[in-house]
Amino acid sequence: MKQNNNNTWISWNENLKHNYEKIYSVSTEEELREVIASNEKIRFFGSKQSSADIAAGTDALIDMTSYNKIVSYDYNRRTITVQAGIILSELLEAIESVGWCIPCLPDINTITIGGALATGTHGTSGKLLCEYMTECRLILADGSIKTIDKDNKLMDAVRVSLGMLGVMSTVTFQCEPEYILHVKEKPENDKEWLPKIKSRLKEHNFLRILWLPHTDTGYVITGDKIDSNKEIVENQGPKYLKHRRTVSKILYKYSHKFPWITAIANKIIAKAFFNSKKEHKGSLYQATVTKSRGSTLELAEWTIALDKFPKVFQELKTEINKWSNKSFIHIPMDIRFVYEDKSWLSYAYGQDTVTMGCVSRNAATADTYEAFKSVEKIFIKHGGRPHWGKRFTAKDPQLSKVYPKWEAFKELREKLDPTNKFLNPYLTELVNAKVVVNEIA
């Protein structure tokens, strides 16, 4: 096991920095268990791609990225077991190589499985990634190991738990046979796509809308399962489309100083990059997940019950189109759909859910990005739930109102981690944890 001492932990987009005393890089479950048992306070991180301050902030840290092996396949059950530090791209390539898939994927492949599960990472037109987990081995604060399968009553609490109940060691996923999607993309006026959400969710296997704030337009992406041999007329649009993120970054360069620039930049970006129709086919992974990003960004994302979405959307649109405030929003606001589940801290607990992203292309100036505040205010007012891995300010009082199982989760956390070993300052405030005696000492 490697150990590095005394340095600074820095998140992917450099917005979070923490001094630490020791970082352990583990590659076996026994090392992971030993490190957890022998430290009074500890956090653990994957690819450091969360904007929320949930991954570090304690003197001792575990880098999970060397704990990254495929443990086994079960070809009869169509399951795969992996160590939790594996990068999503490696897991997906491994299951595609045997003709399987996980049918709902996020738009990023560089994150670790542990980080993705802990934060309720999701895609669209399916369930959260963690809902496809059928078993995990959880290392508790005392160093003991609990195997939790889908029939264990703890599973609903563990799936999304921000590493506050324990560290996921190995994880088993239920896969499905791989399928090919026929993907079509086109711009539509807000008046057209908004009322069609429910019918499109029934009609298509995949639905995602990249909303282009300040343009009255959504870029609608649908996908339908087709026979893999079916010929389609491929149209990937003009070649220059691949420069969209770089051009956006340039156009938004001074938008923190002059927020109104955003409204003009968005009109240019919408015309140049979201005006053409596209058509292509591929697996869910190949056809819909972004494989490379040239620059960092800062993200927030809010979620709301499907039935409430049209009202929240209209209110948000009115608010950000007022030139009296500074809530101009960079393109795109990613609108996706997640089906109801029972995981206690899931965005989709008890309700079909819409998720809406909010991006600042300038990560360094994110603190001045008024849009994060306006979006949070509107979603909170309507009972929205924040993405755990992204930027938000809501804490225990607000979260207890929107998560029916919030108090149950807090009780369980106190029982499994009575000395608050797994809490950093951000998480302590998030769950309003009582300070325990050995923390003061």
Ligand X SMILES: Cc1cc2nc3c(=O)[nH]c(=O)nc-3n(C[C@H](O)[C@H](O)[C@H](O)COP(=O)(O)OP(=O)(O)OC[C@H]3O[C@@H](n4cnc5c(N)ncnc54)[C@H](O)[C@@H]3O)c2cc1C
Closer residue to ligand X, CB minimum distance, 121 or 262: 121
Give me the least distance between CB of 50 and ligand X, in Å please.
3
Q: Is 299 in the site for ligand X (CB under 6 A)?
A: yes
What is the Cα–Cα distance from 318 to 231, expressed in whole angstroms? Answer: 43
43-45: strand order across its sheet: 2-10, 17-25, 60-63, 43-45
Chain centre to alpha carbon of residue 53: 14
Stretch of residues binding ligand X (CB under 6 A), selected from 160-168, 200-208, 363-371, 428-436:
160-168
Closer residue to ligand X, CB minimum distance, 83 or 398: 83
Reduced to 3 DSSP states, what percent helix, strand and coil does the chain have, rounded to the nearest 5?
30, 30, 40
Binds ligand X by CB under 6 A, chosen from 44, 274, 369, 403 = 44
Binds ligand X by CB under 6 A, chosen from 25, 39, 49, 215 = 49
Binds ligand X by CB under 6 A, chosen from 57, 103, 115, 223 = 115
| Axis crossing angle, helix 309-320 with helix 370-381, rounded to the nearest 10 | 150
Q: List the beta bridge partners of residue 279.
A: 184, 235
Distances (CA, A) of 97 to 94, 100, 101: 5, 7, 10
Give me the least distance between CB of 156 and ligand X, in Å please.
16
Chain centre to alpha carbon of residue 291: 15
Could you please report the per-residue DSSP string of 151-211?
A: TSTTHHHHSS-TTSS-EEEEEEEE-EE--EEEEEEEEEEHHHHGGGHHHHHHH-SEEEEEE
> How do beta strands 60-63 and 43-45 pair?
parallel
Residue of 286, 270, 293 lying closest to 206 (CA atoms)? 286
Binds ligand X by CB under 6 A, chosen from 18, 33, 48, 137 = 48
Give me the least distance between CB of 287 and ligand X, in Å please.
15
Give me the least distance between CB of 195 and ligand X, in Å please.
25
Contact 422, 43 (CB under 8 A): yes
Closer residue to ligand X, CB minimum distance, 49 or 215: 49
Q: Is 111 in the site for ligand X (CB under 6 A)?
A: yes
Closest CB to ligand X belongs to which residue? 115
Binds ligand X by CB under 6 A, chosen from 42, 116, 197, 378 = 116
Give me the least distance between CB of 32 and ligand X, in Å please.
9
Q: Is 168 in the site for ligand X (CB under 6 A)?
A: yes
Binds ligand X by CB under 6 A, chosen from 140, 167, 300, 356 = 167
Binds ligand X by CB under 6 A, chosen from 35, 118, 306, 320 = 118
Dihedral Cα 364, 369, 373, 375, nearest 10 deg: -110
Write the Ramachandran bin of 99: left for phi over 0, alpha for psi from -120 to 50, otherwise beta. left
Q: What is the DSSP letter of 341?
A: B
Stretch of residues binding ligand X (CB under 6 A), selected from 50-58, 89-97, 203-211, 403-411:
50-58
What is the Cα–Cα distance from 132 to 172, expressed in whole angstroms? Answer: 8
Binds ligand X by CB under 6 A, chosen from 84, 300, 306, 316 = 84
Residue of 108, 72, 71 lying closest to 88 (CA atoms)? 108
Who contacts 5 (Cβ-Cβ below 8 Å, separation ≥6)? 21, 22, 23
Per-residue contact flags (x/-) with ligand X for residues 119 to 148, judged by CB under 6 A = x-xx--------------------------
Stretch of residues binding ligand X (CB under 6 A), selected from 16-24, 115-123, 176-184, 367-375:
115-123
Binds ligand X by CB under 6 A, chosen from 108, 154, 226, 436 = 108
- Residue indicated by tokens 């009082």: 397
Stretch of residues binding ligand X (CB under 6 A), selected from 15-23, 40-48, 179-187, 218-226:
40-48
Closer residue to ligand X, CB minimum distance, 60 or 116: 116
Interface with ligand X in residues 344-403 (CB under 6 A): 387, 389
Closer residue to ligand X, CB minimum distance, 167 or 212: 167
Residues of this chain that interact with ligand X (CB under 6 A) are 43-50, 54-55, 64, 84, 106-108, 111-112, 114-116, 118-119, 121-122, 162-163, 167-168, 293, 299, 387, 389
